[in-house]
Structure 1
C-alpha cells in the first residue's frame, strides 16, 4: 500500500527513521523497478546547517519548502542525482529525507543494465547508484510520490534494528545523528 501524505507530515527525523523498510518503486512504461529502503538521512532547515534549506529558499531547493510527499531531486558532484522526499511537521518551513541506499527487490535485470554491474550488493548501495539503477533524474523533481504512477513509496518490512549515526559527507551539523540504516551491511 502506497504511503499517504499524512506519513510525510511528521518531523523530518521521524520520517527518515520510519522510511526504513519501506519500498521505493519506479515504474517506466510496463517495467517496475523497486528496492527496500535500507539507509536514509534527515535534513531540516533553520536548525540544520548541513541542509540545502538552511539559508532559505533558492531555485534548487524550493521543493524542500513545498508540499510534503514530493520528490526533491538534485544533481551533485557534476555527475550524480540524489533523490529525497519532502517531509516535515508544521514546526519547520522545510525538510527532506535523502534516500541513501536500497536492497534491490524487483527489476534487478534493469538495474544491472542501468548500472553496468552485476554485483547485486553494489547496485543501489549509495544515493547516486540508486538513482542510476532506477533511472531517477531531475525530470522527477517535484513529482508527487503520493499520486504519481511512476515514482512512489509503499509499505514494506519492519526492520529488526535501526542504527543512527552522524550524516555522511557533510561538514556542518555533525552533532546530529540523523543517518539511519537497517543493520544490514550489504545494502548500505
Structure 2
C-alpha cells in the first residue's frame, strides 16, 4: 500500500522502514529513520520558521529536503504532513540493494556492505544526494520510492545525535539490522 506523505511525520516514519529509495543508480532499503515534527519540535530545522535553507520542509509531502550537515555531509529527509507544516523524516540508515559499486565509488574507499549507508551522511553520500535535489519528488523522475515487500519488526525510541527534544520517541528502526547506525537492538528499559 502506498505511503500517504500528507500524514504526520511520526506516522510516515515507521511506514518507510523496509521501503527502497532509488536515486542516481543506487537503491537503498531504509532501515532507520527519525521523525521531525513542526514548529513545536525544538530539534526540527523548521522550529524557528521557514527560511531559504529549510523551505523544502514546508511541502508538499513526498518531496526531498537535502541539507549540508557539519559542512560536508548531504543528509536527506522526505517531507511529509500537510503543506506548510514543516515536517519530515530523516533517512538515518539503510542497506544498499542495488548499485553497490556506484555507492562504493561515492564513499571513496572500500567500506563493508552493512556500513555503506549507515548514518545520515553516509546514506546521503551512497545515494548521491546534492542540495540541488531539494524539492524533488520521491515519485520520479530522479527519485523513486518503492513499497516494502513485507512489514518488518519495528522499534521506536529516542532520537540520537541531537541535543534538543532528546526524550521524544521519534526514532524508528528495524531491530538487530546490521545497517542501523545507532543502537541496533531494543532500547534499554
Question: Normalised by the size of structure 2, how large is the TM-score?
Answer: 0.89
Match among 77, 81, 86 for residue 88 of structure 1 = 81
| 4+ runs deviating over 6 angstroms | none
Q: CA RMSD in A?
A: 1.7
- Number of the residue aligned with 2:187: none
Q: Does 1:132 align with 2:103?
A: no
2:138 counterpart of 1:152: no
What corresponds to 1:170 in structure 2?
162
What SS does the corresponding residue of 2:178 show, helix, strand or coil? helix
Secondary structure in 2 aligned to 1:8? Answer: coil
Aligned mates of 1:72, 1:156 — CA distance in 2 = 22
Secondary structure of 2:122's counterpart equals helix
Q: How does 1:52-131 map to 2 (within 5 A)?
A: 52-89=45-82, 93-115=85-107, 116-131=109-124
TM-score of the superposed pair, with normalisation by structure 1? 0.89
Task: Give the drift of 1:11.
Answer: 1.3
- SS of the residue aligned with 1:144? coil
Distance in 1 of aligned mates of 2:79 and 2:138: 10
In the alignment, is the contact (CA less than 8 A) between 2:159 and 2:167 conserved in 1?
A: no
Q: 1:9 aligns with which of 6, 15, 28?
A: 6
Q: CA deviation at 1:53?
A: 0.5
CA apart distance, 1:184: 3.1
- Give unmatched runs, 5+ long, in structure 1: none
Q: Deviations over 1:105-160 (max 9, x none)?
A: 001111111112241011001111011111111121111112x2221211123343
Structure 2 CA distance, aligned partners of 1:42 and 1:153? 17
Match of 1:183 in 2: 175
| Matches of 2:111 and 2:34, distance apart in 1 | 27
- The separation in 2 between residues aligned to 1:41 and 1:118, in whole angstroms, is 24
Secondary structure (helix, strand or coil) at the match of 1:37 reads: strand
Aligned length: 179
